[in-house]
Amino acid sequence: MRDVYIIGVGMTAFGKFLDTGMKQLAAEAVGAALEDAGIPREELAFAAVGNSGWGAYSGQTTIRGQVVLRPLGIGAIPIINVENACACASTALHNAWLYVASGQCEAALALGMEKIYHPEKEKVMQSFIGGTDVEESLKLIAEALQSGQNPHTIFMDIYAREARRHMERYGTTQRQLAVIASKNHHHSTMNPKAQYRVEYSVEEVLADKEVTFPLTRAMCSPIGDGAAAAVVCSGDYLDRLSGARPVKILASILGSGMDRDPDGPHICRRLSEKAYEMAGLGPEDIDVAEVHDATSYAELSACENLGFCAPGEGGPFAETGATALGGKTPINTSGGLESKGHPVGATGLAQVAEIVWQLRGEAGDRQVEGARIGLTQNGGGAIEPEEAAMGIHILAV
């Protein structure tokens, strides 16, 4: 397998864009990535395009990648459409990495895109069951609607249940979850691409509207639209470029959940161990990370399973300030999914863009001083007892 480098990244702002089409969002992200890479689109020999929800709303259930790339003059090349719930974009990057690493091409594109916001919230919330075992989830959705619960995605119930289990087992507190959310909201105030850029104190997070205990609204990711992209290339191709600012992909790992003992290793732990082995590193070597914080509990869980702290210590670890800017291991400097936003099909590559900017020293006020090695963890869907899919990438300069 050959070495692979990210030479360009780009993303749109994340938000609620009812009047902006998917083609326009994709064009902005791809155009920015190509400009950042400093190469023409004709140099691309492969593209992987990740999307989850847009097809269900638009009727464009197939060939989504070809539809959005053709107007950009990107055609003829192999284009793979990938759908892996919230892990669509990291799956797209893994495919692009694999295509280059295996010698199939010299330069490739990974694109993640999403149009999921809709003024009828119930439709949005119900659409998320496609990222679960639908047969089992439909019953839960019907019960929730009949009981008059406020509309929220089934994933909030899943995360809340896991959070309560963690609280019972380790003594984790709701306040510790609020500390994580408050930290991420603060980080987002320095990110012009973030969907929400508003400070929340710990007390304000706790006092916000309850979604499902122990989660309040400020602890949960919003619904939104957006796109993100990356251009990757081989070492031979990189040698032909001038002025490139490459970031090396040390590890690209993709995996799926499985049936296991409740106390067995979580998918995040299993895959991160593979990633660390592939990169020849350990969790202590990671300078900055973007993790899949669809809720603040998800960040706490990822922090433990990635080895940044011991099992059960995620809450106290966050309280020390270790995961904030200036801390031992800054996590979600972008604001994370809770504040930057979570356009499902775009999230994984937005994480990658943030890490690339951090490693290049281009993150502005949220820059992690001396960052040389970064990690992204992007989960997708859920089938008991864990995420259905997950991608983990380790990048370095």
Tell me the catalytic residues: 86, 342
Rounded CA-CA distance 186/188 in Å is 5
HSE (side-chain half, CA atoms, 13 Å) at 130: 18
Rounded CA-CA distance 159/297 in Å is 7
From the list 313, 303, 389, the residue with the least C-alpha distance to 344 is 389
Close Cβ partners of 244 (under 8 Å, ≥ 6 residues apart): 7, 37, 38, 238
- Return the number of other C-beta atoms located less than 10 Å from residue 97's C-beta: 24
Residues counted in the chain: 397
* Residue corresponding to tokens 């914080």: 293
From the list 338, 352, 288, the residue with the least C-alpha distance to 48 is 352
Could you tell me if 329 and 323 are in contact, meaning their C-beta atoms sit under 8 angstroms apart? yes
Residue 205 vs residues 78, 162, 296, 330, 355: alpha-carbon distances, Å? 46, 19, 11, 20, 26
Could you tell me if 113 and 72 are in contact, meaning their C-beta atoms sit under 8 angstroms apart? no
Backbone angles phi, psi at 86, to 5 degrees: -70, -10
Rounded CA-CA distance 97/99 in Å is 6
**Strands 47-50 and 79-82, bridge-based pairing:** parallel
Rounded CA-CA distance 157/152 in Å is 8
Could you tell me if 375 and 289 are in contact, meaning their C-beta atoms sit under 8 angstroms apart? yes
From the list 368, 395, 330, the residue with the least C-alpha distance to 90 is 395
Residue 55 vs residues 67, 130, 247, 367, 391: alpha-carbon distances, Å? 12, 12, 32, 36, 22
Instruction: Write the DSSP assignment of 57-94 as a string of letters.
Output: HHS--S-HHHHHHGGGT--SS-EEEE-BTBTHHHHHHH
